[in-house]
């Protein structure tokens, strides 16, 4: 049975939020190749084969997101990407999955409300069509929606990623493509600048010729916390993005998107700027 997430209904409010980019090296001249089937679902465990990327996802532990991530047989060590942290879930505990299924390029899961956090969450991890990322080797969206049966509630949650990195940068000027280094702090708070909602973080991965970049659509950026354990290399960095930091009323659906893309390392910063610019002007997602 298809989730009610995909049934026609009136939206009182629609939002799209941030996205991630993954960038891989030594894969020059390739484009995002869609394999069929993209997702293979066995009960609550899914395997993804998308272009030259392989990954797994345990729907009972959405906070871990995509794990066991490999690009051309090279593992991105300690990677947990596009994870969803639900306030209704305890630490290291599986969460209740109302329903889950694979449909086309989507892996869909619905998570029920709890007494302490009365918010229904629907998420679709979607293999992005090559036309939306023509220079990429693989791209995945996590499209998150929240709703409630209460007259008023707070639906705030986090999208989470962690990975080993040797260098962290932030895009500070999308027009000129200027980046700055973020080092020397145990915890880095990234907040919207006055008059600007831009956020684009870049992670060059430890012991691998890959770069990982995370971007948030202007106007939807509500703040990010990034933990950098030390200035030593490598360090396992964790990033948490706030989503839905506003009141939620009955009859309203809020929606946010996170995207991950893999590119070659050569020219990575230029590619990041181009993709950030494209998604900054893209329409909100309609299918989650």
Sole residue written with tokens 């590119």:
263
- Considering only 26-30, 82-86, 131-135, 158-162, which range has the smallest mean pLDDT? 26-30
pLDDT band, very low/low/confident/very high, at 101 (cuts 50, 70, 90): very high
Q: What is the mean pLDDT of residues 93-112?
A: 88
DSSP structural state of residue 234 = S
Tokens for 149, please give them: 């049966």
Q: What is the mean pLDDT of residues 63-88?
A: 90
Q: Is the pLDDT of residue 187 over 80?
A: no
Give 23 or 93, the one with higher predicted confidence.
93
pLDDT value at residue 221: 79
Give 211 or 63, the one with higher predicted confidence.
63
Q: How far apart are CA 162 and CA 76, in angstroms?
A: 11
pLDDT value at residue 7: 37
Q: How far is CA 228 from CA 109, 162, 166, 185, 238, in A?
A: 31, 10, 10, 6, 7
pLDDT band, very low/low/confident/very high, at 79 (cuts 50, 70, 90): very high
Domains along the sequence of the chain with CATH? 10-280 (2.70.98)
Give the torsion through C-alpha atoms of 177, 234, 161, 88, to 10 deg.
Answer: -140
Q: What pLDDT, in 10s, does the model give residues 151-172?
A: 888 888 898 999 888 888 888 8
pLDDT value at residue 93: 60
Put simply, whether the predicted model's pTM sits higher than 0.85 gets the answer: no
Q: How much of the chain, in percent, has pLDDT values that exceed 90?
A: 20
Omega of the bond prior to 27 within 30 degrees of 0, cis? Answer: no
Q: Is the pLDDT of residue 17 over 70?
A: no
pLDDT value at residue 62: 93
């Amino acid at each position: 049975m298809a989730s009610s997430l995909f049934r026609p209904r009136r939206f009182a409010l629609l939002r799209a939020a941030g996205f991630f980019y993954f960038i891989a090296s030594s894969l020059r001249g390739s484009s995002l190749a869609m394999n069929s089937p993209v997702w293979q679902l066995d009960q609550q465990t899914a395997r993804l084969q998308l272009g030259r990327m392989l990954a797994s996802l345990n729907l009972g532990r959405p906070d871990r997101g995509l794990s066991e991530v490999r690009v051309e047989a090279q593992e991105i060590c300690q990677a947990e990407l596009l994870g969803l942290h639900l306030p209704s879930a305890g630490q290291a505990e599986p969460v209740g999955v109302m329903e889950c299924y694979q449909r086309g390029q989507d892996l869909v899961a619905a998570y029920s409300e709890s007494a302490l956090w009365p918010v229904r969450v629907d998420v679709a991890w979607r293999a992005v069509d090559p036309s939306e990322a023509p220079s990429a080797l693989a791209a995945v969206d996590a499209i998150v929606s929240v709703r409630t049966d209460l007259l008023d509630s707070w639906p705030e949650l986090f999208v989470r990623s962690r990975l080993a990195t040797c260098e962290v940068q932030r895009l500070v000027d999308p027009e000129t493509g200027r980046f700055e280094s973020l080092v020397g702090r145990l915890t880095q708070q990234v907040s919207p600048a006055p008059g600007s909602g831009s956020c684009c973080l870049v992670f060059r991965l430890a012991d691998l010729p890959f770069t990982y970049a995370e971007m948030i659509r202007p106007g939807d950026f509500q703040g990010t916390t990034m933990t950098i354990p030390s200035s030593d290399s490598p360090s396992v960095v964790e990033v948490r993005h706030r989503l839905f930091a506003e009141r939620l009323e009955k009859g309203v659906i809020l929606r946010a998107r996170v995207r991950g893309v893999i590119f070659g390392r050569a020219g990575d910063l230029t590619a990041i700027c181009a993709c950030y610019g494209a998604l900054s002007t893209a329409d909100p997602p309609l299918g989650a």
